[in-house]
C-alpha cells in the first residue's frame, strides 16, 4: 500500500510553506511520497474572524495581509503535477498529528509503519515539538529541499534571486521580524481571544530596545506586515544602520505572497533572527542553514520586559490598536512581576480607551478588580457592561460553541461566587454548566483561592 506524508494547511503563507518543508523532510526520512494541498481560500476560523477586504491598507495604515496567491501563480507546473493534490482526494480517515499530538519522530515512525492509514499529516511546528529531531540534519536537508526540490515558477525564482543579491550587498546583518498585522489590528477578531495572539506579535517598545542593542554590533533589517508603525519607529530611532525590508522591494506592485517569499529569503541570509514563534520566523530559520531563532518573548524576563515597556511606553505616535496591545502586554508583564495591581489597572484602562470594541480588556478589568479584593466594584462594573454590551461580552467570555479562552480568569468567579454578587454568581453558574470538567479539575485551586481571598495572596488567582 502506498503511503504519503502530506501537508494540508489552509491558513497563512508561513504555515503552508513550513508545512510543505516539514512534510518533504519526513517523507525523505521514511523514503515515501510527499504531497501537499493548496486551497484557494483561508481556513474557516480566519474567514470568520477577519475582514476579508483587507489587502494592503486599513485606516491609512500600510499592512501586508495574509492573502496568498493561487498555486499556479507560485509553483512550477511540473512540480504541481508531481506533488500537489486536491483536498477532496484525501480520505477523511487519515492520521494527523494535529488531532493526535506526538512528541517524537520515533512515535510517528511506529504509527507510520504499523497502521493502515495511507495519508499522514505532520505539524508545521514539528521541529519544536518532536524532541528527537536531529537539528543539524534537519537544517541541512531543509535548506536543500527549499533551494532544489520545491520548484517555483520563473516569477518567483526572480524574486528569490533579487533577495539573495540584496543579501550579498548587505553582508552581515541581523533580522528582526515583527508580526503585528492581523494579530493586533481591529480588522481581525483574533486579538480578542485572550492571549492567543499576544505572543505572536511584539510590542514596539521591546523592538526598540533590541534594535538599539543590536545596531551597536551590526546592521539590523526589520521585516514586518505593519509598515507604517515600523517606519515611525525608524524615524524615532534615527540609526544609520537600521533598515526596513519594505524599502528593498515594491510594496504597491507585489502580492502578499511575493513579498513574503522575498522577505523569508532575505531573512534566511541574516546572521541571526529575532522574532516570535510565528511561522514566518520559523520558516526563515529552517532554511537558513544555521537555525538561529531568538524568541523575543523568551529573551528577557518579565521584570526586564516591564521596565522596557515602561521606559518607552507609548513613545511612538502609532495606530491606537498597536498602543492598546502594548498597554495589555505591559499589564501582563507587570502582573507576573508583582507590580501593584492598582497601578497595573491603569494599563488595562488605557488599552480599553484605545480599543473600545475589545471586550477582552473588560474581562481583564473585572478580573483585576477581583484580584484586588474589590468584589463589589467588580460587580458594579459588570452591571454597566451587561447593560451596554451583554451579548458580545458574554459570547466572548463564555462562547456557546466552544470552550472559553478565558477559563483561567473564570476561576475568580468561582472563588467569589456569593449570591450577594448576582452577576458574578450567574457567570459562575453558567461557566460550571458549560465547563464542568475543567472546574472539577481546578477544585483544589478554587478552594485555596476561597481560603486566601481576604489576603494579599488573592492576586495569584
DSSP element (H, E) containing 224: strand 219-224
Alpha-carbon span 415 to 443, nearest angstrom: 10
Contacts of 215 by beta carbon, 8 Å cutoff, 6+ apart:
237, 239, 241, 242
pLDDT of residue 43: 45
Domain boundaries defined on the chain: 4-38+74-149, 154-295, 358-453
Q: Identify which of 335, 357, 409 has the alpha carbon closest to the alpha carbon of residue 378.
A: 409
pLDDT of residue 163: 98
Over the chain (461 residues), what is each successive 10-residue block's mean pLDDT? 90 90 96 92 50 65 85 96 92 88 93 92 90 95 97 98 98 96 90 94 98 97 97 98 97 93 98 93 95 94 98 96 98 97 98 98 98 98 97 95 92 96 97 90 92 89 88
Is-contact 355 190, C-beta < 8 A? no
Residue 260, classed as helix, strand or coil, is helix
pLDDT of residue 46: 47
pLDDT of residue 55: 61
> Which DSSP category does 193 fall into?
S
Residue 344, classed as helix, strand or coil, is helix
Q: How far is CA 237 from CA 26, 48, 202, 243, 394, in A?
A: 44, 38, 17, 11, 42
Cα 387 to chain centroid distance, Å, stands at 33
pLDDT of residue 42: 53
Is-contact 371 412, C-beta < 8 A? yes
The x, y and z cell numbers of residue 102, run together, are: 506526538
Q: How many Å from the N-terminal Cα to the C-terminal Cα in the chain?
A: 54
pLDDT of residue 56: 65
pLDDT of residue 49: 53
Provide the CATH topology of domain 154-295.
Answer: Rossmann fold (3.40.50)
Amino acid at each position: 500500500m502506498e503511503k504519503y506524508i502530506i501537508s494540508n494547511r489552509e491558513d497563512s503563507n508561513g504555515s503552508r510553506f513550513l508545512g510543505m518543508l516539514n512534510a518533504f523532510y519526513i517523507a525523505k526520512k521514511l523514503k515515501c511520497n510527499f504531497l501537499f494541498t493548496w486551497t484557494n481560500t483561508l481556513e474557516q476560523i480566519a474567514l470568520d474572524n477577519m475582514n476579508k477586504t483587507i489587502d494592503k491598507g486599513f485606516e491609512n495604515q500600510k499592512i501586508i495581509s495574509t492573502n496568498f496567491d493561487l498555486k499556479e501563480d507560485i509553483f512550477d507546473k511540473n512540480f504541481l503535477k508531481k506533488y500537489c493534490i486536491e483536498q477532496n482526494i484525501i480520505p477523511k480517515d487519515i492520521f494527523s498529528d494535529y488531532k493526535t499530538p506526538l512528541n517524537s519522530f520515533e512515535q510517528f515512525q511506529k504509527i507510520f509503519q504499523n497502521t493502515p492509514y495511507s495519508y499522514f499529516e505532520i505539524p508545521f511546528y514539528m521541529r519544536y515539538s518532536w524532541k528527537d529531531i536531529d537539528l543539524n540534519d534537519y537544517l541541512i536537508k531543509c535548506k536543500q529541499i527549499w533551494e532544489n526540490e520545491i520548484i517555483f515558477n520563473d516569477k518567483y525564482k526572480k524574486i528569490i534571486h533579487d533577495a539573495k543579491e540584496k543579501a550579498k550587498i548587505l553582508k552581515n546583518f541581523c533580522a528582526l521580524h515583527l508580526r503585528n498585522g492581523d494579530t493586533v489590528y481591529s480588522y481581525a477578531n483574533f486579538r480578542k481571544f485572550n492571549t492567543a495572539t499576544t505572543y505572536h506579535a511584539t510590542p514596539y517598545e521591546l523592538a526598540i530596545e533590541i534594535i538599539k542593542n543590536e545596531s551597536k554590533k551590526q546592521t539590523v533589517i526589520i521585516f514586518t506586515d505593519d509598515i507604517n508603525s515600523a517606519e515611525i519607529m525608524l524615524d524615532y530611532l534615527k540609526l544609520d544602520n537600521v533598515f526596513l525590508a519594505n524599502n528593498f522591494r515594491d510594496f504597491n506592485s507585489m502580492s502578499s505572497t511575493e513579498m513574503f517569499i522575498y522577505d523569508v529569503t532575505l531573512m534566511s541570509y541574516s546572521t541571526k533572527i529575532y522574532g516570535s514563534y510565528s511561522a514566518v520566523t520559523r520558516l526563515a530559520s529552517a532554511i537558513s542553514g544555521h537555525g538561529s531563532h531568538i524568541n523575543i518573548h523568551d529573551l528577557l524576563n518579565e521584570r526586564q520586559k516591564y521596565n522596557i515597556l515602561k521606559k518607552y511606553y507609548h513613545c511612538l505616535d502609532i495606530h491606537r490598536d498597536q498602543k492598546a496591545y502594548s498597554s495589555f502586554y505591559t499589564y501582563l508583564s507587570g502582573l507576573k512581576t508583582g507590580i501593584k495591581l492598582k497601578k497595573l489597572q491603569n494599563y488595562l484602562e488605557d488599552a480599553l480607551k484605545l480599543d473600545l470594541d475589545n471586550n477582552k480588556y473588560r474581562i481583564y478589568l473585572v478580573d483585576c478588580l477581583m484580584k484586588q479584593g474589590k468584589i463589589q466594584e467588580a460587580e458594579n462594573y459588570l452591571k454597566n457592561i451587561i447593560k451596554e454590551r451583554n451579548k458580545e461580552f458574554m459570547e466572548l467570555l463564555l462562547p456557546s460553541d466552544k470552550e472559553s479562552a478565558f477559563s483561567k480568569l473564570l476561576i475568580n468567579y468561582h472563588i467569589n461566587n456569593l449570591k450577594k454578587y448576582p452577576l458574578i454568581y450567574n457567570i459562575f453558574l453558567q461557566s460550571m454548566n458549560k465547563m464542568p470538567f475543567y472546574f472539577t479539575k481546578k477544585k483544589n485551586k478554587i478552594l485555596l483561592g476561597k481560603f486566601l481571598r481576604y489576603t494579599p495572596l488573592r492576586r495569584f488567582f
